[in-house]
């Protein structure tokens, strides 16, 4: 049976595998390793009914990126206690790079 920590790591791995998305960890925690959960895993909340994943998008259009992430995460839940949970992806931030101009503020 998969444990919460292992599931968090796998979900963060799926976020990083989608070109144009990254985990939206709270400011300053994205690369922290000394916390009980790695910093990036704070972008994911695991509940019985909903798995919420907060991301930063650096590419457009958003819909294909979010669909790709949802499609990658859903199989991870199969056969676990979270198999019935809905996957909700929240774009917490839109990076200026999404507009093709890093000077946008």
Q: How many helices (H) and strands (E) does the chain have?
A: 2, 4
Q: What is the pLDDT of residue 25?
A: 78
CATH of residue 15: 3.30.70
Q: Phi/psi at 44 (nearest 5 deg)? A: -125, 130
Q: Which residues contact 79 (CB under 8 A, 6 or more apart)?
A: none
Could you report the per-residue pLDDT of 10-63, keeping only the tens digit for each? 999 999 999 999 999 776 555 555 555 556 888 999 999 999 999 999 999 999
CB atoms within 10 A of CB 32: 14
Tell me which residue range forms the domain holding 44. 4-99
Q: What is the pLDDT of residue 1?
A: 74
The total domain count for the chain is 1
CB-CB contact of 68 with 57 (8 Å) = no
Report yes or no on 58 lying in a domain: yes
pTM for this predicted structure: 0.85
């Amino acid at each position: 049976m998969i444990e919460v920590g292992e599931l968090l790591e796998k979900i963060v791995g799926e976020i990083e595998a989608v070109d144009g998305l990254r985990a939206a960890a709270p400011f300053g925690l994205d690369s922290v390793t000394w916390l009980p959960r790695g910093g990036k895993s704070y972008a994911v909340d695991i509940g019985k009914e909903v798995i919420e994943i907060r991301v930063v998008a650096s590419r457009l259009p958003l819909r294909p990126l979010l669909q790709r992430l949802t499609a990658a995460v859903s199989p991870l839940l199969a056969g676990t206690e979270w198999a019935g949970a809905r996957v909700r992806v929240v774009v917490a931030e839109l990076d200026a790079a999404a507009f093709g101009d890093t000077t946008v503020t």
